[in-house]
Chains A and B, each alone.
Chain A
Amino acid sequence: MFFILKVWRQAGPRSRGHFQLFDMDGISGDTSFLEMLDILNNRLVSQGKETIAFDHDCREGICGACGLYINGRPHGPDDGITTCQLYMRRFRDGSVITVEPWRSAAFPVIKDLMVERKAFDKILQAGGFISANTGSAPEAHTTLIARKVAEESMDASACIGCGACVATCKNRSAMLFVASRVSSLALLPQGKPEAARRARAMVAKMDELGFGSCTNIGSCQMECPKNITITHIARLNREFLYRPG
């Protein structure tokens, strides 16, 4: 297959970026999107040129490292997957593919397609945990948790922290990210004692770090590679943020 790649290049956080065009020929449809970038980078090395920086690791959709804005959508044209799970057979032969980093003030570009997502760590540090010290846990079956509840908690907890929700939101809000952790822990009995405090602390941190606020547009759930829904945002709002007292 043949593609024309239009890739964002940016030398560093403070440099001005620009698009660079590359002709990509001889690409098999079974090549993954990131493998196609590998091929391009190998070609660049052979020509003595600097390679394109991009984040990746597991290459199976679970670590959340990869995240590219492809043809105007986080993780590309398919629903429910990460960039590393995208294969070239998904694109029309001969098409132009535009590749950009996440764009959000809270995720500054480090280089080319690589962004800094430390803000997510900071939000979780503000309260995204259950304060159980090692060694203090009771026998696991002391508290039974209905299957439905455990499954719902798991649905929320599937978040891989990739940042697609922020990248797609016109307000650059991290609400889906925050809600997934809050909701997952609050559903479980062991997470309840700290639930309200956790929610408030995480939302306050999100605001402080320059993420926007949620206006219920719902594009985040469209782009979430793990199909996390805005029901969790509703739970966060209803249960913890706007409940009086």
Chain B
Amino acid sequence: MSAILDAKIPEGPLEKKWTIHKESLKTVSPANRKKMHIIVVGTGLAGASAAAALGEQGYRVNVFCMSDSPRRAHSVSAQGGINAAKNYRNDNDSVRRLFLDTLQGGDYRSREANVYRLAQVSNAIIDHCVALGVPFARDYAGYLDNRSFGGAQVSRTFYARGQTGQQLLLAVYSSLNRQVAAGNVTVHSREQMMDLVTENGQARGIMTRDMVTGRINAYPAHAVVLATGGYGNVYYLSTNAKHSNGSALVQCWKKGAFFANPSFVQIHPTCIPVHGEYQSKLTLMSESLRNEGRIWVPTRKEDVLALREGKIKPSDIPEERRDYYLERRYPSYGNLVPRDVASRAARERCDAGFGVGKTGRAVFLDLSGAIAKDGKACIESKYGNLFQIYEKITGDDPWKEPMQIYPAIHYTMGGLWVDYNLMTTVKGLYAIGEANFSDHGANRLGASALMQGLADGLFILPYTISDYLAGKIGEPCPDTATPPFVQVRGDVQKRIDRIMALKGNVPVDVFHRELGNMMWEHAGIAKSAEGLSSLISRLGALEERFRNEAGITGSQATVNQELEKAIHLEDYFTLAGLMVQDALHREESCGSHFRIESQTKDGETLRDDDRFQYVAAWEYKGQAEAPLLYREPLVYEETRMTERKYI
């Protein structure tokens, strides 16, 4: 088994591994690069940066996205910032400290060598983004500004107002555009990957559906890169964009790419609470607000009641009747504990009956102290757009009364298993960005997803993929008239026909919402063997109802958003089953994976390193059989594992 799950971690001391490895990687000559075809699926930070970097090298790149323009990929919505170990604040930050914070933040369920490399390349990302014209926030002297994020005691987060993701994406999308103009990259927008084409265990290309004409198209390549983001939308309500989905991951899983740690899902503590039945998504209030904001609930139940009845306002509650529960429980990190810790603490207070808001499932995020201290103008310049978003959604003025927040599904640490080269278990198929499982273990630190996406796309994949392609020189690009392509084309057509034949009258959204509720209830902030087991039969029953009762209207030969939703929902059912199985098997708590059977007496996560210090990678065994578990043991050569403490 270990032969299959060889992570290919290079020998040598931790700080030297990447350098040594890079030197050993083969390269491809400029003349040959022109003959090598690469497919990149996804144009978020990971995909767009990879496609641009590969284009710059002279490869022939086809890049795909579902939106009308690459610039709209979900990365655009990242608000808070991007980490790097620049130590511009002289607060004793370093590559090693960023590495250790990330490893500890992930509760020692990520790979030491990968995380170290991530920290190592972080600084070059900032340099490159500045060169591309990202208007990062600066101080009066013109130096780059930093803010703090959860899980760190140093200030290492770079930001561009509350629009960091948008600014970074605009930058790499511009680089992509430059390569389009240079003729190296072709963009296929509104074109959805429908399947991976493989031959003899190697990726040969992809099959797509043109989302405007419904046409099924085949694209061949020497290597395929998946950068399709995360699958948080399994839960229906999440902070992810509506079109974020897990379909490409499921397709690749079914074609032999192992899926790692599927149940590691991050729940973000600071989102606008759920308010209505028809709500279509949850909106994040950036974690950066926890820099200056303080989180609290009333200490007295009568205040909770009076608030709910509208008799008093939050600001009427005096200081001594407020429970700043994060500061109380975690004095050294306070409001800046990692996300999983903050989420569980919010749930704990609400379960105990101290939750505020109409539903009792909300806590206050209070910036009044910061506004009083620094002035409205200063806070507005940092967080103005977040205040605006909040006001528009809730109809309440956050400048007057504190915001109400509650945890929501946000990010998936799980994803396709990749080795140190970011290659999946299918040869020539790579996964980067949120789509892979690699660097965040059981919990991702804030501002580290953007860092990882760009690290993968700019500075890691371009080197490792060349090593693979060097072995393909002289091989022609696969022919799409050959049996592997013909077969997959037929499969995709059959699948679409099958979905179009659903002739009930219940909209797809209804089933998706139900799936989401179930998963949130039993596979969300807290999980138990009993709850998880109950999901198995309920998932089956729901899927059955979907097949019998769902209705798809319209035709497959034009834009059909119901068809698109149904494709994703089918895949969410598959993913949900896999997530439940993984969560059930991992009888420990770590990071955001909280099994109630495994907690300390203070209600904190309790790891079981003896039994579970490994990456769980699942192999697809067909519709009728349960997936098979492979383990990649996690070996910490240079790090002393500790209990994860934020007290």
Contact = CB atoms under 8 A, between A and B. Distances in A.
B507 A128 contact: no
B212 interface: yes
A158 B459 CA distance: 27
Most buried by B among A12, A57, A137, A146: A57
Interface string A45-66: 1111111010111111111110
B143 A144 contact: yes
A125 B278 CA distance: 39
A87 interface: yes
B135 A157 contact: yes
B86 A140 contact: yes
Q: Which among B76, B462, B510 has the highest number of chain A CB atoms within 10 Å?
A: B76
A85 interface: yes
A51 B562 contact: yes
B448 to A, nearest CB: 18
Contacts of B138: 144-147, 150
A57 B242 contact: yes
B131 A121 contact: no
B270 to A, nearest CB: 14
Give chain A's interface secondary structure class: loop
Interface stretch (B121-129, B408-416, B602-610): B121-129
Interface string B545-570: 00000011110001101100000000
Nearest to A29: B395
Interface stretch (B163-171, B195-203, B637-645): B163-171
A48 B137 contact: no
Given A30-B275, A57-B241, A117-B68, A154 B128 contact: no
A56 B74 CA distance: 11
A243 interface: no
B392 A124 contact: no
A157 B142 contact: no
A80 interface: yes
A42 to B, nearest CB: 4
B127 to A, nearest CB: 4
A136 interface: yes
Interface in B41-61: 49, 52-53, 56
B165 to A, nearest CB: 8
Contacts of A131: 178
A134 B76 CA distance: 20
A83 to B, nearest CB: 12
Given A80-B388, A111-B558, A139 B127 contact: yes
B554 A50 contact: yes
B160 interface: yes
Interface string B131-149: 1110111111111100000
A213 interface: no
Interface string B67-97: 1111110101100000000101000000000
A184 B138 CA distance: 15
Interface in A154-187: 154, 157-158, 160-161, 184-185
A42 B242 contact: no
A45 B551 contact: yes
B283 interface: yes
Nearest to B553: A50
A57 B69 contact: no
Interface residues of A, number: 82
A87 B280 CA distance: 13
A225 to B, nearest CB: 11
B506 A46 contact: yes
A141 interface: yes
A189 to B, nearest CB: 10
Contact of B68 (A32, A65, A140): A65
Interface stretch (A33-41, A215-223, A233-241): A33-41
Nearest to B73: A63
Contact of A136 (B76, B131, B142, B143): B131
B77 A191 contact: no
A12 to B, nearest CB: 6
B177 interface: yes
Contacts of A42: 507, 509-510
A118 interface: yes
A133 B189 contact: no
B506 A58 contact: no
15 contacts: A11-B558, A35-B279, A45-B506, A45-B552, A59-B241, A61-B392, A87-B393, A110-B559, A121-B189, A129-B132, A130-B132, A134-B49, A140-B130, A150-B142, A190-B132
**8 tightest A-B CB contacts, nearest first:** A144-B142, A129-B174, A137-B131, A154-B135, A137-B127, A153-B135, A132-B131, A42-B507
Interface of B: 49, 52-53, 56, 67-72, 74, 76-77, 86, 88, 124, 126-128, 130-133, 135-144, 160-161, 163, 165-167, 170, 173-175, 177-178, 180-181, 187, 189, 212, 241-243, 275-276, 278-281, 283-284, 381, 388-389, 392-393, 395, 458-459, 462, 505-510, 551-554, 558-559, 561-562
